[in-house]
Chain A
């Protein structure tokens, strides 16, 4: 039993340590943002956002690269969102009576979520580019990213669905209302926040991805004419400018700044969309 004075000292030290940990985390975040903004803002202009890159990216802009990135993410989400939603529904609503299948699926998803992205890149290259003959293309990149984002998306949506009280499911069953009706009218609206969180996580992972895209959507920095064209993603562009192009740092930072800005915008928009949807549907969880 420490004497009162010593206990007070310990308490003070613990408080200090906790605040110091907070300061380190917050400081790192602010430093990172400030560093990217400081070095990137100088090169940022309307021309930079719209023009094609010249001299391997040292000059010109990143117009085609933004377009390619958005297309890749759009393909990824168009595939991952419905598939992820369906899978999360199966896990939370339909796998209840076969707990073992549910456990197996969850364990697989957790392992997939922790899989290094380079492995997804190799897999995507072998499956989409080579075996399915899609080549280095926006479609191949998007499909690979869909595989990567799915585990995150599924677990987030599933948690959203599980947070909905069982009372509604019981009440619906007792009224002879089918599982699909109650899912559509009550469970999904109530799980909307989880769905949004899952989408944001998925988009975040997709936007940030470099390794998996080098092998699948390729390097080409021209404006894509179709989804079957190769397209360079922003993160790949940053990597290329920073590692392979002497004198590319300035534009690497500017691109990184645009990437971070895009991510924050999408997160904000998704959160707003979720709130609007909840208000419209009248479901209050």
Chain B
């Protein structure tokens, strides 16, 4: 695969896709994607709408299995382990691979219970929970804003706060990989900047894959950039490489046009 960037030896691959395809019934929406995300890096998935970026992301925590008729071909490894092996515990996999959605979706419960629910589910002892909740909210940069009203409804928070709560909820489980599907697109510029800063701070501890249509954002935060395009009815990875190179000297003419803003 000439397009896969050489990974420095110090950075072991955290997430690895090998010739992955995504199908809805007979329709192939993503074909033949191979991609390596090194530990502690941010990989931006860019490209026009409808080229399968979200579908691909949803395969990485096997959320796509909630959609009737959706299945994946190829191989996907998280921390060297095959995510689709028959002995994989689905709930445990999703604990290791967290996800942030485009639209902030906290549960209609209190702020505390939003973070706690998954901790309880995954057997974190009661004595540790309060500390884990506080740490997650601090890491998400939300603690100072909500520490005096943890038991009030999460639905009363602003859009940006809700999204940071969702991030806190995900990182409270201490996942290895964080999948983010346009995490800032529903937010105003100020909230968006706050979430962006947060993603940069998180990268030292997590491997982040972020789908974004905001190229300036991709350029600011991403280490690697993966460009998708629709060819013959399926989304394909047409170029992948260090983000800086991708934006300065793209190899593919489609990428060049897209990052210049003149196409797609």
A interface residues (Cβ-Cβ under 8 A, vs B): 96-97, 99, 165, 167-178, 181, 185-186, 190, 282-285
Contact = CB atoms under 8 A, between A and B. Distances in A.
A176 B153 contact: no
B154 to A, nearest CB: 10
B221 interface: no
Query: Chain B contact residues (Cβ within 8 angstroms of A): what range?
Result: 20 to 34
Given A99-B68, A168-B107, A185 B117 contact: yes
Interface of B: 61, 63, 66, 68, 90-95, 98-99, 101, 103, 105-110, 113, 117-118, 121-122, 153, 155, 166, 169-170, 173
Contacts of A190: 108
Contact of A186 (B91, B99, B107, B122): B107
B201 to A, nearest CB: 21
A285 B108 contact: yes
A272 to B, nearest CB: 21
Contacts of B61: 174
A181 B105 contact: no
A282 B109 contact: yes
18 contacts: A99-B68, A165-B105, A167-B105, A170-B66, A170-B105, A171-B166, A174-B63, A175-B121, A175-B170, A176-B173, A177-B117, A177-B118, A185-B117, A190-B108, A282-B153, A283-B108, A284-B108, A284-B155
Contact of B105 (A96, A171, A178, A282): A171
Contacts of A177: 91, 117-118, 121
Contact of A176 (B68, B92, B105): B92
B108 A186 contact: yes
Contacts of A185: 107, 109, 113, 117
Given A171-B107, A173-B94, 12 more contacts: A96-B68, A99-B68, A167-B103, A172-B117, A174-B61, A175-B118, A176-B91, A176-B93, A176-B95, A176-B173, A283-B108, A285-B108
A173 B63 contact: yes
**Nearest 5 Cβ contacts at the A-B interface:** A176-B94, A167-B105, A174-B99, A176-B91, A175-B118
